């Protein structure tokens, strides 16, 4: 192994820089040359590359976003684009390509693997919606940002005796929502996995019950994958007469200096990715499951299933009385 490439792809996540740093420095430690590829798969196709030295990853651990920048890359969805990417990988003389990204980026890796590219994945998405791993880089920072927002909204909702409906990110998954709901002390959480269990009528009923027992303000979390936050706020106000405000956190949750948890996982996963390459592993992804870092075949990882532990929701309801 003499030379590897590294890129960040798909949606950005706080901690990606710590992962880049770990990949670059672990590789350099083992005398492997590292090529940084900008803007995800786009950089591979357009030749936006640059050799990375140790100093290139100085002072980046604490930064949100990604110093390599990231983007979606539609060209990768065509056979022509994939052939070109694989050809450039070979021209560059790379022995492996480390991709830091989400499930979409992993699907891109699987296509490149068919063309002889040795792809190693590091899971990074704030949404936690990757089936092969219980942790993905960025989640903890996003939840902390959500918690911070909920704390602040709680202050003002309490002063004005209002109801606050807060939409958090998560795409089609409710991980961020239930975590924010729990740690922010929300009364209720609407998340996609609970379809049929919790709906707006039940939430409104809950608000009315809580008011009848003396609660003077309300905090409701809605997952991006459920949506309809403005309408829910309006319905709550119309039906209950309680002043209700909707807040959509949106991309705020994508940014910020990564938490200790994100820096730790990113550093360890970056190290494990390079270690796997040194051991001659091909087309694998790094995972964190049952408290341990492990490595799983790329194809296998894409076929795996994971479910949100709905017990968290049951506890939120118990604690919301
Ligand atoms: P994430 O990695 O955060 O889930 P996306 O779903 O946007 O983000 O995927 C990132 C990129 O991965 C896409 O823009 C595309 O270039 C590539 N990609 C996704 N799915 C495929 C696929 N089926 N074949 C080839 N490339 C893909």
Per-residue pLDDT tens for 106-127? 999 999 999 999 999 999 999 9
Looking at ligand 1, which residue's alpha carbon is closest to its atom 16? 73
pLDDT over threshold 90, residue 196: no
What is the distance between the alpha carbons of residues 293 and 128, in angstroms, rounded to a whole number? 16
Q: Give the residue-averaged pLDDT of 152-174.
A: 97
Looking at ligand 1, which residue's alpha carbon is closest to its atom 9? 104
Residue 13: both structure tokens together = 């996540």
| Ligand 1 atom with the shortest distance to the CA of 106 | 2
Looking at ligand 1, which residue's alpha carbon is closest to its atom 8? 10
pLDDT tens column, 211-270? 999 999 999 999 999 999 999 999 999 999 999 999 999 999 999 999 999 999 999 999
Tell me if residue 127 is catalytic.
Answer: yes
What contacts 189, CB < 8 A, 6 or more positions away?
174, 177, 178, 180, 181, 198, 220, 221, 222, 223, 313, 316
Over pLDDT 70: what percentage of the chain?
A: 100
The per-residue pLDDT of the chain, averaged, comes to: 97
- pLDDT band for position 61 (50/70/90)? very high
What is the distance between the alpha carbons of residues 283 and 116, in angstroms, rounded to a whole number? 10
Ligand 1 residue neighbourhood (C-beta within 6 Å): 9-11, 41, 72-73, 76-77, 101-105, 107-108, 111, 125
| Residue in 51, 111, 57, 34 with CA at minimum distance from that of residue 274 | 34
CB 114 within 8 A of CB 81: no
10 Å Cβ neighbour count for 183? 15
Q: Which one is catalytic: 31, 56, 95, 127?
A: 127
Tell me, what's the ipTM?
0.98
Annotated binding residues for Mg(2+), written as ranges, equal 103
pLDDT over threshold 90, residue 139: yes
Three-class secondary structure of residue 292 per DSSP: strand
pLDDT tens column, 1-23? 899 999 999 999 999 999 999 99
């Amino acid at each position: 192994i003499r030379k590897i490439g590294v890129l960040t792809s798909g949606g950005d996540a706080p901690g990606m820089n710590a992962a880049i740093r770990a990949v670059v420095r672990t590789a350099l430690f083992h005398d492997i040359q590292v090529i940084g590829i900008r803007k995800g798969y786009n950089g591979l196709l357009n030749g936006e590359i640059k050799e990375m030295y140790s100093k290139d990853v100085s002072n980046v651990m604490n930064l949100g976003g990604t110093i390599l920048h990231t983007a979606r890359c539609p060209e990768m969805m065509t056979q022509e684009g994939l052939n070109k990417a694989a050809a450039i990988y070979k021209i560059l003389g790379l022995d492996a390509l480390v991709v830091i990204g989400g499930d979409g980026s992993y699907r891109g890796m699987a296509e490149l693997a068919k063309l002889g590219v040795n792809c190693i994945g590091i899971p990074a998405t704030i949404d936690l919606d990757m089936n092969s791993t219980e942790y993905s880089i960025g989640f903890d920072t996003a939840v902390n940002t959500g918690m911070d927002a909920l704390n602040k909204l709680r202050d003002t909702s309490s002063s004005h005796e209002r109801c606050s409906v807060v939409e958090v990110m998560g795409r089609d998954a409710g991980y961020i929502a239930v975590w924010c709901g729990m740690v922010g002390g929300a009364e209720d959480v609407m998340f996609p996995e609970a379809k049929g269990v919790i709906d707006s009528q039940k939430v409104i009923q809950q608000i009315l019950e809580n008011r009848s027992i003396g609660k003077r303000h309300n905090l409701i979390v809605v997952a991006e994958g459920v949506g309809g936050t403005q309408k829910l706020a309006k319905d709550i106000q119309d039906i209950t007469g309680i002043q209700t405000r909707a807040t959509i956190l949106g991309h705020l949750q994508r940014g910020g200096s990564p938490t200790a948890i994100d820096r730790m996982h990113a550093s360890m996963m970056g190290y494990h990715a390079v270690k796997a390459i040194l051991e001659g592993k091909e087309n694998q992804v790094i995972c964190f499951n049952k408290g341990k870092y492990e490595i799983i075949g790329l194809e296998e990882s894409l076929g795996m299933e994971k479910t949100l532990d709905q017990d968290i929701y049951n506890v939120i309801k118990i604690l919301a009385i």
